[in-house]
Amino acid sequence: MHQNRLSSERGINVANNSYQPGQPKQLGGITGRGFLPGQSGNPNGRPRTRGLVSALRSKVSEIGTDGRSVEDQLVSVLLQEALRGRQRLAAVEIIFDRLEGRARQQIEVADITKELRQKSDDELRFHLENDRWPEENELLESASGRENETEE
pLDDT digits (tens, 9 = 90+) for 95-146: 888 888 887 888 888 887 888 888 888 888 888 999 998 887 887 665 565 5
Helix (H) or strand (E) holding 13: helix 2-18
The domain of 132 spans 113-151
Alpha-carbon span 145 to 20, nearest angstrom: 68
Q: Could you tell me if residue 67 is inside a domain? A: yes
Q: Could you tell me if residue 8 is inside a domain? A: no
Alpha-carbon span 97 to 94, nearest angstrom: 5
For the cut 70, the answer to whether the pLDDT of residue 48 exceeds it is yes
Alpha-carbon span 27 to 33, nearest angstrom: 8
> What is the CB-side half-sphere exposure of residue 34 using CA atoms within 13 A?
8
- Write down the pTM of the prediction: 0.36
- Number of domains within the chain: 2
Q: Could you tell me if residue 73 is inside a domain? A: yes
pLDDT digits (tens, 9 = 90+) for 52-93: 888 888 888 888 888 998 888 888 988 988 898 888 888 888
